[in-house]
Structures are given as structure tokens and as C-alpha cells.
Amino acid sequence: ATYDDDDDDSGGGDDDDAGEIAITLLSAKGDVSSRCLYDVTCVIAEQNGNVTEAKNLSEDFAESSVLELKVAIDSNVSDILLAGDTEFKEKLRQATMKHAVDIAIQREDLLRHQKRVVVFDLADTLVKTRVYASLAAFVGKAAEFDAIRKRLPRAQDYADRVKEYVKLLKGATRAQVQQFNRTLKLTKGSRFTCGALRKLGYKLAIISTQLDFVAEHVANVLGVHYVYANKVCWNGNECSGEIELPVLDGNAKVDLVQVLCQRLNCQLDQVIAVGKEGSGYSSGVLDVVGLGVAFHSSRDASSNMLFNKDLTKVLYLLGHSPSAFQKCVDDAGRQAVRFAQASDFVA
């Protein structure tokens, strides 16, 4: 028997109209309640959706703090849902917010399981520290920093603001910034998450509007492969107070993700981006990649939301619990340099 590609077989047309999404529910406190689940499934039912599979991803199967729902839904609704803000998406968010449950929504298809690259922001993502403010305080220029921030408050002033911040570092030595790097505090779960992803073959990148000597130090500690950040200029052993132009701002982050994809020969759909909304990731990187995660953001964040301050929660969005990843990273702690002891400085 032969098959003719031109044959028009419309007998199974209904299946072509069906799409599938994955909804992950993560409770910040205790289990995902039956009431929360009821509210979510009511929203799904309003769109004639059907839950085809429910999976408990919790570390303890006696609990149900993390649930993944696979939902068959009309494909055009799925397209709209994942393209941006919709009434459907907003209803799902409202249904979970009142129960203090985080929600992430993804298309359930082959590319969901073929992610290859994870891009992280730096401040309020991989590290708890607000880098520019902390650096200014470290060199005794906190008052000057506050004055600059008040004088140049607008988002469009960002490049000028960064130039002024870096001027505050003029005369700082490499030894001083190395000492500052040792004061940084990792976000909970950063080391484990990066180790797990790296062991599974993901390429990791930091794309940040912060300074290169901080981003590269953190990359060394966590085993991140690629770093894009603002480059400080040096006169020998001292910071010149200048920054290489153009200044990397939020608008440039999308371009850099595309550059990284070309470098790694992958598609934007195969990229996961994690960052705090409002840091340049909000209307840019988080919206163009396969999975954008607003980490530790406001409750009205527009992307997939993780308000929990533990980065291991990102692993649930790949369909597995952190303990499942543990089998792959038993030696990750021995491979990574302990953050408190890391002292290698990368200029």
C-alpha cells in the first residue's frame, strides 16, 4: 500500500484542532488545596478544556504541594494563552493567587522536553544582593548612589545612570572588588539548580545589566558557561570609573539571547529564561523564549510566576521534582566551588 500526501482525509479533523498545555501549581505553604484545584478546573471547563493527566511532583508523595495538570484544549485558545495576557490566563492567575499558589503554563509538546539553554538574570535571581547599591556602599559612596538614583529615576535614563554608578568605583582595586564578591549571597537553591541543569547537559548563561566582574565571579562559582554583562574599564589594577559602550540595558537582553541561540545553534523555543520582572526581562526576554519564569516578582507579574525564593522550584517546571534531579547531581557539590570559599577573580 502507498500513501499519497495529496490525499485529503478529513475523517479525523477534530484531533487537528486540539492542543495541550501543562499547568504547574506550586503551593508556597502546604498542599495545593482541593478548593484551589476546583477553582482552576472550573476555569479550564469554561474553555471546554479537559484535564487528561494529573501528576504529583511533590517531594513527599503523601503531600500535594506541587501538581502538574495536562489539559487538552482548543488549539487557538492555547496559542492565545501562551502568546500573552488573555482573559483565560488572567482567570487562572486569579484562581491561584487567592490560595497563595504559584502557577506556570506551558505548551505541552515536544519542544517543552527539548529545552537546551537556561538564561538567568543576576540580581534578585542568582544572588540576593542588589549589586549597584551594595557596591556603592562597599566603597563608601552610598549617599552619592542615592543622589544619582533620584536625579535619574526614569527607565530611559538607565544608561546614564549606570555610567554614573561606575564613576563611583573609580580608584577601586581588583583586590577590593574581589573582596566585595565574597560578600555576595546566593539565592536559595542556586547552586543545586545550576549543578542539576549542567549535569543534564543544559548550557547556562547569565545575561545581566550588572557589572562583568560580579557576573563572572558568580558564573565561576555556579559553573555557568556564558556571561553577558556591562564591562568595567581598568587602568592596570584600578577601576578607571568608565564603562565599555554601549551600555547593556534591558532592551539589549533580547538581542543577546538571540546571539546565544545562534552561537549554540538552537531555537528560542528551546530556551528557559529566569529573571525578576521589571529588570528588563518583563516585556523582553521572558516573552520571547520557550519558557519565561518571573522569579520572586510581584503578584501582578505577567509571565509564569514563582514567588517562592527557592530556585529549585524552577526544576518542577521541567516536569520533575528536585529529588529526581538529585540522582544526576550527587557529585555536583564536589564539582562546584563552595560560595563562601570562592576567591578566584575573573576580570
Q: What is the DSSP letter of 125?
A: T
For residue 5, what pLDDT is reported? 44
* 35-44, long-range: CB < 8 A, 24+ apart: 35/99, 36/95, 36/96, 36/99, 36/101, 37/67, 39/95, 39/96, 39/98, 39/99, 40/69, 40/92, 40/95, 40/96, 42/95, 43/88, 43/91, 43/92, 43/95, 44/69, 44/71, 44/73
**194 or 8: which leads in pLDDT:** 194
Nearest to 232 by CA among 104, 340, 135: 135
* 246-251-253 Cα angle (round to 5): 85
> Band of the pLDDT at 307, cuts 50, 70, 90?
low
Cell (9 digits) for 323: 529529588
For residue 318, what pLDDT is reported? 83
Range with the poorest average pLDDT among 19-28, 110-119, 190-199, 258-267? 110-119
> In whole numbers, what is the pLDDT of the chain averaged over residues?
81
Asked whether residue 234 carries a pLDDT value surpassing 60, the answer given is yes
Cell (9 digits) for 102: 504559584
For residue 126, what pLDDT is reported? 94
Q: Per-residue DSSP letters for 265-320? A: T--GGGEEEEE-TTTTIIIIIHHHSSEEEEET--TT-SSEEE-SS-TTHHHHTTTS
For residue 130, what pLDDT is reported? 86
Tally Cβ neighbours within 10 Å of residue 17: 9
Question: Which DSSP helix (H) or strand (E) runs through 207?
Answer: strand 203-211
Say whether pTM exceeds 0.95: no
For residue 306, what pLDDT is reported? 72
Phi/psi for 300 (5° steps) reads: -100, 20
Asked whether residue 250 carries a pLDDT value surpassing 50, the answer given is yes
Q: Which tens digits make up the pLDDT trace of 101-156?
A: 888 888 887 767 778 899 999 988 999 888 999 999 999 999 999 999 999 887 77
Partners of residue 70 on adjacent β-strands: 22, 53
Range with the poorest average pLDDT among 166-175, 231-240, 272-281? 272-281
Nearest to 208 by CA among 182, 228, 188: 228
